[in-house]
């Protein structure tokens, strides 16, 4: 600049000023008279001086391609072509195809520096760089421009510099998020004073992104609390984008935004010593994203919003979408409609979000709710959410709605066990720090409770499933408990029961099932026959029949982890209560009636004590024990009976010669449940033994009678019912 260094003495300074003024005046006189052959060489000689002047004026090196002087009617117009601003680093952030300026002679004489009155630019390309929590800066320029003030004489410019740009490119760079965006067809009008800037600008987004970006700003410079100058004022921006997916934003990329439009009207206010104040409103249309590990995918999201530094609100509407979140759900969930109202406030202790309304539905389910989320500084977040829901039909895809928040084996059981059902009403409550879920030994509540009607429960593979289930399912923190009010299993009526998984989040948890059923004894036996524990009795069940009412109380303890289940199996604890029932093997004319008592069974076999009944019109005592070592079930029958009833048809002619009753003990050997193959019986073994005491036996050949003789009578039938071998009698005197 003219006085970049102090000149010695007043006379010397005045002489330098006059010579410089006369030099400029001569150039302009030549231009006024149109003596091109004289002033063009002079202009070219002045290029280096003008480059130096402009470099000092803007604070960085300016290189000029060529210069010419035109007349704009009122004065001279200096036209500079192919300008380039170069920073000390070697970068050239500003390039200008053409710059035309007029000189403000009054301000130039006041400040003793070259001062333009109006600058017109065409073909401008520059970088707009933005740091976090700050207004954007034009890279390569510092405002106020150094040339707006003669620092030697401490004289500032008083009238504004008018700047206009017709066509140009802006490269907006966000240094915080490492993103950039090119804007074209820049139109700019502004006035610059040393301590104030007023501007209005419009630029076009790339065709793949949107329409226009408009900016209005009024800024002025004030001293900050630390004494350094700082700009404050208002910057108002308006924009309309129809394809957010094309924006080079890492945040949008991280969410996988694929479509969506944005209409935004925002104002940024800067006050010295305070954070930026932002306020605005806008609308999002048809927003879609593919999501990530933390955010589900959605389509067709529409929203309106308004926000400022103190808080804001947003209204969301979604229609004909699908929610895809493989982290939780194995299949996409249809969303026919979703409406939500969300508000938030920013307070000294943190952010506070409130969901005042949530309504959602699809062909399967409807959902309503409200809640709040507190995000305090330096403390864990806290959520308080309450939802109600119901199904719109008997859903057969329950597994689609079970989130993967549990160990794999527990999740798999829930997805396969709950086959279908209708939920008239359900409730969900979530309170506490979400990171503490499932709130074991920590403050917080996770509670889901809902009624179920017409449900189907496949509680165990290979076991007959429960149908027409009516009851309640309850998840509380880490536990699951279900109450069965009524159901049917095959032809049995379930009068009540429970299904529980204590501590679902342990790596080796168990399913505990407790059911009470009523029905025909035949139905109970069919149920046990079709269950895995009844495999060994299926051949026997083909020739046996049962009748009469009975009760079953069944308890199952099932490891849900496959390796544990394979090693331990299912623990069974069951009781069949007999109420005057009948059991028969028609093929062998064996009938047991009036059976009363309780039959206990587990995964190995049965145990009976104190049961009674009738066999061939005589009282009968029944007992049973399981020999786990040999893999057999021994059934004992004891009664007072005439031996003649045991005679086979081939010995029927002996019946007239036998009279009286004696104690008959019959033993049946059945294969135990789940017995090893090398120990399993291949037939039903029956042995009947009796001490013939006081029995009258008349011999046909010798006409005499024996009274009170003692004989042992054994009937052995080793092949009932799986083979057709004959029974044999052994009768010996004692």
- Among the three residues 204, 229, 256, which one is the final residue of a domain in this structure? 204
Query: Does any domain span residue 337?
Result: no
C-beta separation of 39 from 79 below 8 A:
no
C-alpha distance from residue 436 to each of 327, 472, 477, 530 (Å): 18, 26, 10, 43
pLDDT (0 to 100) of residue 470: 96
Nearest C-alpha neighbor of 514 from the set 575, 596, 449, 450 = 575
Of the candidates 518, 458, 457, 527, the one whose C-alpha atom is nearest the C-alpha of residue 493 is 518
Is 361 inside a domain boundary? no
pLDDT at 147: 67
Structure tokens at 365: 């389910």
- What are the structure tokens assigned to 324, written together? 């895809």
Q: Which residue has the tokens 């934003």?
A: 249
3-state secondary structure of 260: strand
| Vertex 57 angle, CA 82 and 200, to 5° | 75
Give alpha helix (H) positions in 362-433. Answer: 408-417
331: tokens are 């299949």
Q: Please provide residue 275's backbone torsions phi and psi, each rounded to the nearest 5 degrees.
A: -65, 160
For strand 161-174 and strand 116-130, is the pairing parallel, antiparallel, or unpaired?
parallel
What integer pLDDT is reported at residue 648 of this predicted model? 65
Q: How far is CA 639 from the centre of its chain?
A: 67
Q: Which helix or strand (DSSP H or E) is residue 588 part of?
A: none
Give the separation between CA 163 and CA 116, rounded to whole angstroms: 10
In a domain, 408, yes or no: no
Instruction: Give the Cα-Cα-Cα angle 625, 627, 628 (nearest 5 degrees).
Output: 125
Instruction: With a cut of 70, list the residues of the chain below it in pLDDT.
Output: 1-46, 72-74, 132-135, 147-154, 177, 646-648, 650-651, 658-659, 675-684, 690-734
**pLDDT for residue 154:** 59
The token pair that represents 363 in the structure block: 């062909």
Last residue of one domain, picked from the residues 170, 204, 238: 204
Domain presence at residue 111: yes
Separation of alpha carbons 138 and 135, rounded Å: 10
- In terms of Cα–Cα distance, which of 579, 695, 681, 569 is closest to 630? 681
Domain that holds residue 670: 638-734
Peptide bond into 374 cis (omega under 30): no
Q: For the chain, what is the domain count?
A: 2
Whose CA is closest to 566, among 614, 508, 612, 610? 508
pLDDT at 149: 66
> How far is it, in rounded angstroms, from Cα 360 to Cα 646?
74
Contact 466, 488 (CB under 8 A): yes
Contacts of 16 by beta carbon, 8 Å cutoff, 6+ apart = 2, 7
Pairing of strands 229-241, 705-720: unpaired
Most distant CA atoms of the chain, gap in Å: 177
- Name the token pair of 162: 């008018």
DSSP string, 31-53: HHHT-HHHHHHHHHHHHHHHHHH
* DSSP sequence for 353-371: EEEEEEEEE-SSEEEEEEE
Write down which residue in 155, 187, 204 finishes a domain.
204
Tokens 């009274």 found at:
707
Helix ranges (H only) for 214-317 are: 250-255
Contacts of 349 (CB under 8 A, 6+ apart): 376, 377
Beta strands in 64-148 (DSSP E): 66-71, 76-86, 94-103, 116-130, 137-138
Cα four-point dihedral sign 106, 110, 116, 117: negative
The answer to whether the Cα torsion of 527, 531, 537, 540 is positive or negative is positive
Residue 45: partners with Cβ closer than 8 Å, 6 or more residues away: none
Q: Give CA–CA dist 671/6, Å, rounded.
A: 118
What tokens were used for 6? Answer: 């102090």
Ramachandran region, residue 654 (left: φ > 0; alpha: ψ -120 to 50; beta: rest): alpha
Q: Are 423 and 391 in contact (CB under 8 A)?
A: yes
Instruction: Give the Å distances, CA to CA, from 616 to 403, 575, 594, 620, 635.
Output: 60, 27, 11, 9, 18
Residue with tokens 């009937």: 715
3-state secondary structure of 20: helix
Residue 680: per-residue pLDDT:
63
- Whether residue 661 is contained in a domain is answered as yes
Q: Quick check: is 724 in a domain?
A: yes
Judged by DSSP in three states, 105 sits in: helix
Helices in 426-549 by DSSP H: which ranges? 521-530, 538-541
So what's the pLDDT on residue 421? 94
Q: CA-CA distance, 319 to 334, in Å (whole number)?
A: 10
DSSP assignment, residue 276? P
Per-residue pLDDT at 134: 66
Q: Is residue 263 part of a domain?
A: no
Helix (H) or strand (E) holding 428: strand 426-432
Residue 505 in tokens:
């989040």
Q: φ and ψ at 437, to 5 degrees? A: -55, 135
What is each CA distance from 384 to 352, 480, 563, in whole angstroms? 12, 21, 38
Q: What is the rounded radius of gyration, in angstroms, for the C-alpha atoms of the chain?
A: 49
**Domain assignment present for 5:** yes
**Cα separation of 588 and 726, whole Å?**
11
**What is the pLDDT at residue 367?**
96
Contacts of residue 43, Cβ cutoff 8 Å, sequence gap at least 6: 27, 67, 68, 69
Report the distance separating Cα 79 and Cα 121, nearest Å.
10
């Amino acid at each position: 600049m003219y006085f970049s260094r102090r000149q010695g003495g007043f006379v010397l300074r005045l002489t330098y000023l006059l010579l410089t003024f006369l030099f400029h005046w001569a150039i302009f006189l030549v231009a006024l008279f149109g003596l091109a052959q004289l002033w063009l060489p002079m202009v070219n000689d002045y290029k280096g001086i003008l480059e130096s002047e402009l470099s000092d004026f803007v604070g960085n090196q300016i290189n000029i391609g060529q210069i010419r002087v035109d007349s704009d009617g009122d004065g001279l117009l200096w036209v500079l072509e192919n300008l380039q601003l170069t920073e000390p680093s070697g970068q050239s952030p500003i390039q200008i195809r053409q710059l035309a300026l007029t000189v403000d002679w009054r301000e130039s004489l006041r400040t003793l520096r070259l001062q333009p009155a109006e600058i017109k630019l065409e073909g401008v390309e520059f970088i707009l760089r933005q740091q976090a929590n700050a207004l954007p800066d034009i890279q390569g320029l510092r405002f106020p421009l150094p040339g707006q003030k003669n620092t030697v004489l401490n004289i500032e410019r008083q009238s504004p510099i008018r700047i206009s740009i017709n066509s140009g490119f802006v490269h907006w760079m966000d240094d915080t998020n490492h993103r950039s965006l090119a804007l074209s067809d820049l139109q700019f009008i502004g006035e610059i004073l040393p301590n104030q800037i007023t501007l209005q600008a419009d630029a076009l987004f790339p065709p793949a992104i949107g329409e226009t970006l408009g900016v209005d700003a009024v800024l002025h410079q004030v001293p900050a609390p630390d004494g350094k100058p700082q700009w404050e004022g208002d910057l108002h921006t308006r924009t309309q984008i129809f394809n957010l997916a094309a924006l080079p934003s890492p945040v949008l990329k991280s969410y996988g935004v694929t479509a969506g439009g944005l209409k935004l009207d925002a104002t940024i206010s800067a006050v010295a010593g305070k954070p930026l104040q932002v306020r605005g409103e806008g609308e999002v249309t048809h927003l879609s994203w593919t999501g990530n590990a933390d955010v589900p995918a959605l389509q067709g999201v529409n929203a309106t919003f308004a926000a400022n530094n103190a808080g804001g609100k947003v209204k969301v509407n979604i229609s004909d979408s699908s929610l895809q979140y493989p982290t939780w759900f194995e299949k996409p969930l249809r969303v026919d409609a979703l409406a939500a109202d969300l508000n938030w406030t920013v307070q000294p202790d943190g952010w506070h979000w409130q969901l005042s309304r949530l309504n959602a539905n699809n062909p399967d389910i409807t959902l309503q709710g409200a809640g709040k989320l507190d995000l305090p500084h330096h403390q864990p977040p806290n959520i308080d959410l309450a939802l109600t829901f119901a199904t719109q039909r008997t859903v057969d895809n329950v597994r689609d709605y079970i989130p993967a928040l549990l160990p794999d084996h527990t999740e798999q059981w829930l997805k396969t066990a709950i086959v279908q059902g209708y939920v008239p009403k359900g409730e969900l409550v979530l309170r506490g720090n979400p990171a503490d879920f499932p709130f074991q030994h920590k403050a917080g509540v996770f509670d889901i409770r809902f009624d179920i009607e017409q449900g189907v429960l496949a509680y165990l593979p290979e076991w007959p499933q429960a149908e027409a289930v009516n009851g309640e399912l309850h998840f509380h923190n880490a536990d699951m408990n279900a109450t069965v009010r009524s159901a049917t299993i095959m032809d049995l009526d379930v009068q009540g029961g429970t299904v529980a998984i204590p501590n679902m989040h342990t790596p080796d948890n168990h399913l505990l099932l407790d059911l009470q059923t009523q029905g025909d004894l035949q139905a109970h036996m069919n149920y046990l026959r079709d269950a895995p524990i009844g495999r060994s009795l299926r051949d026997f069940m083909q020739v046996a029949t049962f009748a009469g009412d009975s009760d079953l109380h069944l308890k199952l303890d099932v490891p849900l982890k496959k390796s544990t289940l394979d090693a331990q199996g299912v623990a069974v604890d069951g009781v069949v209560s007999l109420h005057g029932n009948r059991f028969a093997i028609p093929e062998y004319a064996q009938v047991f009636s009036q059976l009363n008592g309780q039959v206990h069974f587990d995964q190995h076999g049965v145990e009976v004590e104190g049961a009674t009944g009738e066999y061939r019109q005589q009282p009968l005592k029944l007992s049973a024990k399981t020999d786990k070592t040999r893999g057999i079930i021994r059934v004992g029958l004891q009664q007072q009976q005439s031996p003649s009833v045991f005679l086979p048809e081939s010995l029927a002619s002996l019946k007239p010669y036998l009279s009286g009753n004696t104690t008959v003990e019959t033993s049946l050997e059945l294969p135990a449940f789940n017995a090893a193959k090398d120990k399993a019986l291949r037939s039903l073994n029956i042995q009947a033994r009796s001490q013939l005491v006081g029995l009258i036996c008349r011999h046909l050949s010798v006409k005499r009678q024996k009274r009170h003789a003692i004989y042992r009578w054994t009937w052995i039938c080793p092949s009932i019912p799986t083979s057709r071998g004959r029974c044999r009698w052994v009768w010996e005197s004692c």
